[in-house]
């Protein structure tokens, strides 16, 4: 999937159908001149329903469908006939989509299961016909209820990527390059910061035809939790990953300091992210000779006592197999 086809944020205006009005019919048949009221109820307006679909990965199909309207309920008729209900509108969403109120930013619900259906805009109820209002003192009521209007609402859809492994790191540290090496994905790769503006997904092929999904997230900068850089637009994608793969270049001034900054940004955005499994990959290690790598290992053994780390090079294909083995082991632990 190309970057331009990945849509993870859509605003929509929804209008449910209004209910049909009740009938004010009086029964009139041959030999029955005063049969009394027999006006039927109006049909309910159509709902707008969101439905989970495990085969979707993006909100691209909604990019140009910003206004949705459900059908109106039909009016009631004679012989207590109820009007037809308005047509419901079903919208398929990828799993992991959060539905928010655009004005208050309050989360309404989240779609997490395939086939799950949630009514986001309920259709108006149909009005009652005049036969409901007959009484001993009013035997021929000539009024009925109008239908209840539909609901208008502005909602925001936010997709949180569902992936087994999420790549976390500063801009331009080689995340997209790694994804292009271990999967068939073709992310945009260039030597400048924020080359990646949308998450890229790829399927990593492992031994014996096993696979797992890896996500390349746009780079984090210090202050991202407050919205700096691309801020919340990409931090939300990390919430849905089972394992966080921290990518730090071998030529970084201080590897531990970079790791601490990244971890602190995740903690400030959502403290629950610290409960996820973590692994550190030192990228661009083809620039290191054996002596320098041995020195760095001595330092990192002291720093990363509880978190596994590996030296890799996407360009030189160093440590890639070991990385896949470790990720698969962690996913199935």
User: In sequence order, which residues have a C-beta less than 8 Å from that of residue 264 and are 6 or more positions away?
Assistant: none
pTM of the model: 0.68
Ordered per-residue pLDDT tens for the chain, 333 residues:
444 566 778 999 999 999 999 999 888 877 777 778 989 999 999 999 999 998 887 888 898 888 999 999 999 998 889 999 999 999 999 888 999 999 998 999 999 899 999 999 999 999 999 988 988 888 889 889 999 999 999 999 988 777 788 888 887 777 778 888 887 656 554 443 444 456 677 778 888 878 888 887 776 655 544 444 444 556 777 777 888 889 888 888 888 888 888 888 888 888 888 888 899 989 888 888 888 888 888 888 888 888 888 898 888 888 888 988 998 988 887
pLDDT value for 224: 45
What pLDDT is attached to residue 194?
Answer: 44
Domains of the chain: 3-159 (2.70.210.12), 163-331 (3.40.50.300)
Spatial contact of 70 and 123, defined as CB atoms under 8 Å apart = yes
Q: Is 280 helix (H, G, I), strand (E, B) or coil?
A: strand
The pLDDT score that the predictor gives to residue 197 is 53
Tokens at residue 66, please?
A: 């910003």
Instruction: Please answer whether residues 175 and 247 qualify as being in contact, where contact means their C-beta atoms are separated by less than 8 angstroms.
Output: yes
Q: Return the pLDDT at 196.
A: 47
């Amino acid at each position: 999937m190309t970057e331009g086809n990945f849509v993870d944020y859509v605003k929509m205006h929804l209008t449910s159908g209004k209910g049909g009005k009740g009938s004010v019919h009086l029964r009139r048949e041959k030999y029955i001149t005063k049969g009394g009221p027999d006006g039927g109820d109006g049909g309910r307006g159509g709902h707008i329903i969101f439905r989970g679909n495990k085969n979707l990965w993006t909100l691209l199909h909604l990019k140009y469908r910003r206004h949705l309207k459900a059908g109106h309920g039909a009016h009631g008729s004679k012989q207590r006939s109820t009007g037809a209900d308005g047509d419901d509108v079903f919208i398929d969403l990828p799993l992991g989509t959060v539905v928010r109120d655009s004005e208050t930013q309050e989360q309404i619900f989240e779609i997490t299961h395939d086939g799950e259906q949630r009514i986001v805009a309920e259709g108006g109820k149909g009005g009652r016909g005049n036969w409901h209002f007959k009484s001993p003192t009013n035997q021929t009521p000539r009024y009925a209820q109008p239908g209840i209007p539909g609901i208008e609402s502005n909602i925001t859809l936010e997709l949180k990527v569902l992936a087994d492994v999420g790549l976390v790191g500063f801009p331009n540290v080689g995340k997209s390059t790694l994804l292009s090496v271990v999967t068939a994905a073709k992310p945009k790769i260039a030597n400048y910061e924020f080359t990646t503006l949308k998450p890229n997904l790829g399927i990593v092929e492992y031994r014996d035809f096993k696979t797992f999904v890896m996500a390349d997230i746009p780079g984090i900068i210090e202050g991202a939790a407050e919205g700096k850089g691309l801020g919340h637009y990409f931090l939300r994608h990390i919430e849905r990953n089972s394992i966080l793969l921290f990518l730090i270049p071998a030529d970084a001034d201080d590897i531990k300091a970079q790791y601490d900054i990244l971890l602190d940004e995740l903690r400030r955005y959502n403290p629950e992210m610290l409960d996820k499994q973590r692994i550190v990959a030192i990228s661009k290690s083809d620039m290191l000779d054996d002596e320098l790598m041995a020195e760095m290992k001595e330092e990192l053994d002291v720093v990363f006592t509880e978190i596994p780390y590996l030296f890799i090079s996407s360009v030189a294909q160093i440590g890639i197999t070991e990385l896949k083995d470790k990720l698969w082991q962690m996913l199935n632990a």
